[in-house]
Amino acid sequence: MTADAAGADPGALPDVAAVVIGRNEGTRLRRCLVSLLGQVRCVVYVDSGSTDGSVAMADGLGAHVITLDDGQPFTAARARNVGFRYLLSSERDLARLLASILRRIRKRQRCSDDVVNAFRSGPSTTAYAT
């Protein structure tokens, strides 16, 4: 879901995007997505095999929907990472922000290049709220 889909001015919104994950979440998903309308620049919904109409509902509300294929086990980590990778590939500002954060971490914490490069290549850990 983009700021335009929510009727908000993209310039007035914070540089925040949301990844929402779920499977057969129904009413909870609707409340979650509606609460994000006009609050963030972009919402990505990653679905893990819902059969209750969650995908159509999220799409109808304007979220960018990604449906995981069932060739691999569904896990919350997989769904979050797929959503995060989508944001990195589609949101230039997010990719620049992440690069800036990584530079600051390297400078202040003096973490090794291996840690920074591992994060850049595909994080296995993501920050999220429940």
Does 80 reside within a domain? yes
Could you tell me the CATH number of the domain that includes residue 87?
A: 3.40.50.1100
Does 116 reside within a domain? no
For 42, 48, 90, 122, the CA distances from 116, given in Å and listed in that order, are 26, 29, 21, 10
Helices (H), 62-109: 76-90, 92-109
Q: Which domain, by its residues, includes 33?
A: 10-91
Q: Are 87 and 94 in contact (CB under 8 A)?
A: yes
For 6, 18, 63, 124, the CA distances from 80, given in Å and listed in that order, are 23, 10, 15, 10
pLDDT tens, residue by residue, 31-60: 999 999 888 888 999 999 999 999 999 999
What is residue 68's three-state secondary structure? coil
Is the per-residue pLDDT at 16 higher than 70?
yes
